[in-house]
């Protein structure tokens, strides 16, 4: 089973096919790390690129991300066995007061598709919960999402909490969500801003100095 077949299945959001060809590759002795890094991640990178240039829309990106998750179900235990390192660890959540999580979930899926380990704190996440998660999981990056103008202040409060807990320098912070702008990111001293799920992996990787 060629890696190209897996790449095509993920890129085109063919969930059943992706699972079948991924399993066939595993059965044929292809290393899970190779399937992940040479087929699945490149496919999701291409999905993100197509979304950014307007060749794909949210539903198509979501379908591809779900397909990637389907392949990952098969690969995850094998990746652990093979001790394949993730490219980095991301804590993500929608800030306190905000229950919107569809966009945040999509960002999390695209980051997972890019090879990151994701700790998803869900929605309505308090500054204290972000701080506790950073202390427990020691992520490389924290991603905060908000969809409401009224909860943009929760991002500032969470940033303040990171400074108070003296862990601000230990993580990169990337923020996003419909009302969030680069200007706002600069104002709250976040390290980065991602406008959408397509660009989020690129922004996060650039901050960590990861190419590709």
Where do contacts with ligand B1M occur on this chain (CB under 6 A)? 58, 97-104, 106-107, 143, 145, 147-150, 174-179, 194, 196-197, 200
Which residue number, 38 or 49, has a Cβ lying nearer to ligand B1M? 49
Q: Tell me which residue of 43, 61, 41 sits closest to 51, measured CA to CA.
A: 61
Q: Tell me which residue of 191, 177, 207 sits closest to 94, measured CA to CA.
A: 177
Which residue number, 84 or 178, has a Cβ lying nearer to ligand B1M? 178
The answer to whether the CB of 145 falls within 8 A of the CB of 103 is yes
* Rg of the Cα atoms in the chain: 17
Please state, in angstroms and rounded to a whole number, the distance separating the CA atoms of residues 202 and 67: 20
Q: Tell me which residue of 177, 41, 55, 208 sits closest to 112, measured CA to CA.
A: 41
The answer to whether the CB of 86 falls within 8 A of the CB of 174 is no
Which residue number, 35 or 196, has a Cβ lying nearer to ligand B1M? 196
Token pair of 124 as six digits: 């309505």
Which residue number, 120 or 196, has a Cβ lying nearer to ligand B1M? 196
| Shortest distance, position 92 Cβ to ligand B1M, whole Å | 7
Which residue number, 82 or 191, has a Cβ lying nearer to ligand B1M? 191
| Shortest distance, position 26 Cβ to ligand B1M, whole Å | 31
Please state, in angstroms and rounded to a whole number, the distance separating the CA atoms of residues 110 and 198: 7
| Shortest distance, position 23 Cβ to ligand B1M, whole Å | 30
| Shortest distance, position 1 Cβ to ligand B1M, whole Å | 32
Which residue number, 2 or 150, has a Cβ lying nearer to ligand B1M? 150
The answer to whether the CB of 158 falls within 8 A of the CB of 128 is no
Please state, in angstroms and rounded to a whole number, the distance separating the CA atoms of residues 89 and 63: 23
| Shortest distance, position 3 Cβ to ligand B1M, whole Å | 27
| Shortest distance, position 63 Cβ to ligand B1M, whole Å | 13
Please state, in angstroms and rounded to a whole number, the distance separating the CA atoms of residues 167 and 170: 5
């Amino acid at each position: 089973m060629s890696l190209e077949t897996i790449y095509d299945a993920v890129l085109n959001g063919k969930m059943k096919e992706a699972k079948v060809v991924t399993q066939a590759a595993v059965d044929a002795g292809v290393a899970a790390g190779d399937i992940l890094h040479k087929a699945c991640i490149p496919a999701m990178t291409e999905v993100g690129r197509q979304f950014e240039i307007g060749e794909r829309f949210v539903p198509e990106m979501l379908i591809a991300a779900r397909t990637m998750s389907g392949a990952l179900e098969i690969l995850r235990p094998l990746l652990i066995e093979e001790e394949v390192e993730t490219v980095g660890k991301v804590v993500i959540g929608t800030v306190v007061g905000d229950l919107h999580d569809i966009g945040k979930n999509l960002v999390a899926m695209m980051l997972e598709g890019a090879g990151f380990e994701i700790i998803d704190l869900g929605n309505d996440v308090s500054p204290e919960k972000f701080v506790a998660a950073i202390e427990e999981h020691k992520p490389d990056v924290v991603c905060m999402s908000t969809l409401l103008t009224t909860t943009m202040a929760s991002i500032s409060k969470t940033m303040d909490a990171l400074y108070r807990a003296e862990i601000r320098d230990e993580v990169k912070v990337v923020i996003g969500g419909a009302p969030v702008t680069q200007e706002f990111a600069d104002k709250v001293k976040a390290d980065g801003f991602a406008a959408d799920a397509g660009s989020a992996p690129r922004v996060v990787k650039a901050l960590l100095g990861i190419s590709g």
